[in-house]
Structure 1
Amino acid sequence: MVGDEVFVTLAHDRTGRLVAKLAGERELAPLTFAAPESWRNQTTLGWVTKTLQIGSFVLIDGGVIGFGAYGFIPAVERTRALRLGERVEARVSFIREDGRVNLAMTPLKQVGRMLDADRILAFLQERPRGAMPYSDETPSDIIKQRFGISKAAFKRALGKLMRDRLIRQEGSWTYLVEQPGESQQTGETARGSESGDERSSAD
């Protein structure tokens, strides 16, 4: 796609023609440097040099220096499929002893928990009677399909909402908890309607 970049090595074939061959870890690793400790939990940019089912290898952009450190995004830390040559933004989650890094496209757990909780709360607020047929018992594949997050992240978000007393669970269902003032406001609205009806009858 436009904007993608792949790294290659150049050589001549037997006939003397210039041939480009995709550069791999063996060619790229010697050109990188060890990631400093200050990179931990920092967001960085890089190019996907190889992508597999278990994860994707990334060459981090070193800015004016050139190539940065060599990194790896485990499959569980990918939020979507990545393609070769794609420029990707990820967070440095771990710095290895050899200077390479583990990367994550997902936010920090505490940040992700808040974002996921807000998303689930908004979903419930749009549902009839503030209820949804999803809970801790819901299979992980359904959670992933419906909310785009792992079951562990879903449970963390539900836990936060329950600690904040915003939701409750009954069996396989989750419900919004009626907040103080809501029932009173509803009652006042109902009384207002009744008064209006009485005035209409009197007229």
Structure 2
Amino acid sequence: MAKIGTFNSMEVTSITDFGAFLDGENLGSILLPKKQCPENLQEGDSVRAFIYLDSEDRLIATRIQPKAEVGQCATLEVKELTPFGAFLDWGLPKDLLVPFSEQRKPMEVGQKQVVYLFVDSLTQRITGSTKLNHFLPEETDAYRANDPVDLLIAGRTNLGYRVVVDNKCLGMVFNEDVLQPLSIGQRLKGFVKTVRSDNKIDLMLQLQGHEARLDIADRILKELEANGGVLMLSDRSSPEVIYKAFQVSKGNFKKAIGRLLKQNKISQESDRIVLR
């Protein structure tokens, strides 16, 4: 079945002067405008296209990749405020509406907001919401400690940062685990710190303990191999320089260096590390 708000592979049923009509199956015939049609398109060809509603609420297809699809979160800029809500730029000719009822806080033009995209059951329009907890669970049993995850910084609280985890659920990075400046809408890698008894998850930006040393040591070796066996860093380098290179604290970096020295895999000079 074809779905609104996602890419679908559809068969070309007819070609006209203003575009090609695609078989949207349960959604009916859908126009792919001429400017969106591939060269030499023929009836019977299959086209992968994104389905949404145009400004007149008619189903239309496009081969343009939007900044997010239905069921995903994205960081989008507010373009316009209207009596119906805010319109955000999501990369398509028709901007994305976030109704007032779906705004956690009033929006302002120029702001960047983390929104979840869904299809409104009444209008069938693709709609945005900043009330992420209405769509993403805060509890999950899908993770274990130290699992690597993709994070999207969604909000700030007194305790830390609220994050979207793998676009599947919500979690927290507490202040004690924030080792770098973070901003709303930022995407970065992280790890599961712990899964609490209520199945809520806490995240961290770096591995800790033994796992951290193994991970950083492996990355150092790979970086040495990619740079001819020399890395212009040492345990005397500043925390800022180390973080820029490996996104880790100086303490964890020094522990990983110590491990590699004991294993006789590297030697260290005052300003560099050399692969043995």
**TM class, shorter-length:** 0.5 to 0.7
Q: 1:62 to 1:148 in 2, by over 3 A?
A: closer
Sequence identity, in percent?
A: 18
Partner residue in 2 for 1:139: 238
The 5 A counterparts of 1:1-203 are 2-3=67-68, 4-5=73-74, 19-23=100-104, 28=133, 32-36=137-141, 39-44=144-149, 47-51=152-156, 55-60=160-165, 68=169, 70-74=170-174, 76=177, 81=182, 83-84=184-185, 90-106=190-206, 108-122=211-225, 125-127=228-230, 132=232, 134-170=233-269, 172-174=270-272, 176=274
Q: 1:115 to 1:28 in 2, by over 3 A?
A: same
- The Cα of 1:110 is off from its aligned counterpart by 4.5
- Structure with the higher helix share, 1 or 2: 1
- The Cα of 1:16 is off from its aligned counterpart by 8.8
Q: 1:59 to 1:38 in 2, by over 3 A?
A: closer
Structure ID, larger Rg: 1
The DSSP-based 3-state class of the residue aligned with 1:5 is strand
What code does the residue aligned with 1:176 have?
A: V
Q: Is the 8 A contact 1:106 1:112 kept in 2?
A: no
In the aligned structure 1, how far is the partner of 2:224 from the partner of 2:162? 35
- The Cα of 1:31 is off from its aligned counterpart by 6.7
What code does the residue aligned with 1:36 have?
A: D
CA RMSD after TM alignment: 4.5
In the aligned structure 2, how far is the partner of 1:80 from the partner of 1:150? 13
Aligned residues: 160
The TM-score normalised by the length of structure 1 is 0.53
Instruction: Extract unaligned runs of 5+ from structure 1.
Output: 7-14, 180-203
Q: 1:80 to 1:93 in 2, by over 3 A?
A: same
In the aligned structure 1, how far is the partner of 2:244 from the partner of 2:136? 40
The Cα offsets for residues 49-72 of structure 1, whole Å up to 9 and x where unpaired, read as 215798531244686xxxx4x311
Instruction: Extract unaligned runs of 5+ from structure 2.
Output: 1-65, 76-82, 86-98, 106-129
The TM-score normalised by the length of structure 2 is 0.42
The Cα offsets for residues 109-151 of structure 1, whole Å up to 9 and x where unpaired, read as 1542233321453366354xxx74x322222122223444321
Q: Is the 8 A contact 2:242 2:248 kept in 1?
A: yes
Q: Is the 8 A contact 2:206 2:248 kept in 1?
A: no
In the aligned structure 1, how far is the partner of 2:227 from the partner of 2:159? 34
- The Cα of 1:83 is off from its aligned counterpart by 3.7
Q: 1:123 to 1:157 in 2, by over 3 A?
A: farther
Partner residue in 2 for 1:9: none
